[in-house]
Structure 1
């Protein structure tokens, strides 16, 4: 029964995070990108902080090490990731953005190996990272005669979002602060939102007053803040404890399926062959990088099934 519960929650999480890319595309028609991202985490951060106060005793960071962890999370996991993602997604499809973001687990492993020289990648692992990057090239399809085409630049910005998230994941783990993940996420969200407000003010982003009364705009903001962020991270915390890091990383490869379906139904987006091929290559890269951990998980599932 526990396996079925975990599977159901896993699919709910994949659906919430996959459809969030569609909500971003919908909301970008009404809000400027950086302000939209900041507003999302104003709301989500308050909700997550309330949950952290309820769920853990250590709900407020103390000491230099813990605040450094929050600062990295705010700057990279929330701030840089969402600025690049929201700005890039103005000019590319939700499905392409979801596929490019699915490279994050592969890049995380690559950054971890670079920053921890004693834990070098095997030749197969290096090949996996390279295969994933080839997948990015297939999705982006850069034109040598026009490298600064709007669509190509937009997709490269989304790739930068995935890289920022991967680097932030590695750096927060390296700091090894004794900080509950709920606390780290809550304060990172609030700090990231504040940073994005500063960026938005610096860019002098305009906002149409009608955005505050438009049902699609408010619905997109509410969905991203409450469902994709607050509920999504609560499900993530629960599944991380039950499944472990390897299995939960697989959500990155199920989410684009939901993005494609919801994007087609709501936005009328059609996925091209290059996006599908790029996704397949990125998924193959993940399997090569995580092959040992995946084989262990498969063995554990088989033992559970035979017991």
Structure 2
């Protein structure tokens, strides 16, 4: 096994998840947003369920606690997250969307302090949380060139922020549910349930219909890439790295992904990367480092060793 196996997998995962923002923007040209997200998870959910059946002996939830876990994951971490994200990305550049979504680990820590009483925010932690919001504010105003464009510039990015908010809330609430469902099974059923919810949302939106889909090679490629690589394969890599490296390392993927979002958005969609986008990213990342400073200092030697050893 390669000495740098973990580092390679980390980069691949960041590339898949970062370039997903570009693929979403590309596919939105041909498919209504919430319907697009639903179709993505129709495919990804079936693939993940097949994998769960193959690798676990508990491929479906059985207890009320397990179904509650799937319900929270499907409603918040799949349906709400992706409905807000796909609608918001219609008018949000790939890099900016990726940076706003990278606020999720910061929001997750904030929610943990509220819903998990054993967790408490220190003054530095509060400063980190506030910095995260400042970074998002910088991004929200990055493309507002005039007062007339202010509303149309900010509202889509608020929707992307609500996506990060939903995912972070779901992450914390699932920790409060007592259930020992294999993570592959939980992800599979959450994806399928979330896809079903998004189909319902899409039907309820007057602006969306199946007839509005333009079946083009670009649309097919976007759905295939998001379903197979960014979702199914991406989560398999995620599971592997989570076992080997831990939660701090997985959070750091969120701060490498915007780099790939910026590169692929520029290369494939000619999206410019503005100085304010870079500034917003730096502010959000600084907030994360403040919030997680103790965990990072404690885990950094182990993470570095795991990267170099490939264990």
Give the TM-score normalised by structure 2: 0.94
1:18 is matched with which residue? Answer: 18
How do residues 271-286 of structure 1 correspond to structure 2 at under 5 angstroms? 271-286=273-288
Gap change, CA 1:301 and 1:161, over 3 Å in 2: closer
**Aligned residues of 1:211 and 1:218 also touching (Cα < 8 A):** no
CA RMSD for the aligned pairs? 1.9
* Gap change, CA 1:61 and 1:303, over 3 Å in 2: closer
Q: CA contact under 8 A between 2:32 and 2:212: conserved in structure 1?
A: no
Indicate if the aligned counterparts of 2:21 and 2:261 stay in contact, CA closer than 8 A: yes
1:18-74: CA deviations, max 9, x gaps? 000000000000000000000000000000000000011111101111100000000
CA contact (8 A) 1:30 1:208 kept: no
Q: Return the alpha-carbon distance in structure 1 between the equivalents of residues 193 and 260 of structure 2.
A: 30
Aligned with residue 257 of structure 2, among 236, 255, 258: 255
Distance 1:155 1:303 in 2: 38
How many residues are aligned here?
Answer: 305
State whether residues 46 and 190 of structure 1, in contact with CA within 8 Å, keep that contact through their aligned partners in structure 2.
Answer: yes
CA contact (8 A) 2:108 2:168 kept: yes
Contact 2:245 2:303 in 1 (8 A): no
- Tell me, in whole angstroms, the C-alpha distance in 2 between the residues paired with 1:277 and 1:49: 40
For residues 190 and 215 of structure 1, the distance between their equivalents in structure 2, rounded to whole angstroms, comes to 25
Whether the aligned pair in 1 keeps the contact of 2:15 and 2:257 (CA below 8 Å) is: yes
* CA distance in structure 2 between the partners assigned to 1:275 and 1:170 by the alignment: 28
Residues 136, 210 of structure 1: CA spacing in aligned structure 2 closer, same or farther, 3 A cutoff? closer
* Equivalent-residue separation in structure 2 for 1:196 and 1:216 (angstroms): 22
Q: Show CA shifts across 1:91-121 (max 9, x none).
A: 1111110010000000000000011223111
Tell me the SS of whatever aligns to 2:176: helix
> Residue 151 of structure 1 aligns to a residue in which SS?
helix
- Give the 3-state SS of the residue equivalent to 1:88 in structure 2: helix
Deviations 1:169-220 (A, max 9, x none): 00011113111110100000000000000000111413456622x0000000
Secondary structure of 2:48's aligned partner: helix
Greater alpha carbon shift after TM alignment, 294-303 vs 150-159? 294-303
Aligned residue in 2 for 1:211:
214
Aligned to 1:175, the other structure's residue is in SS state coil
Q: 1:188 to 1:145 in 2, by over 3 A?
A: same
2:269 corresponds to 1:267: yes
* Structure 1: runs of 5+ lacking an equivalent: none
Aligned to 2:133: 133
Pair 295,194 (structure 1): closer, same or farther in 2 beyond 3 Å = same
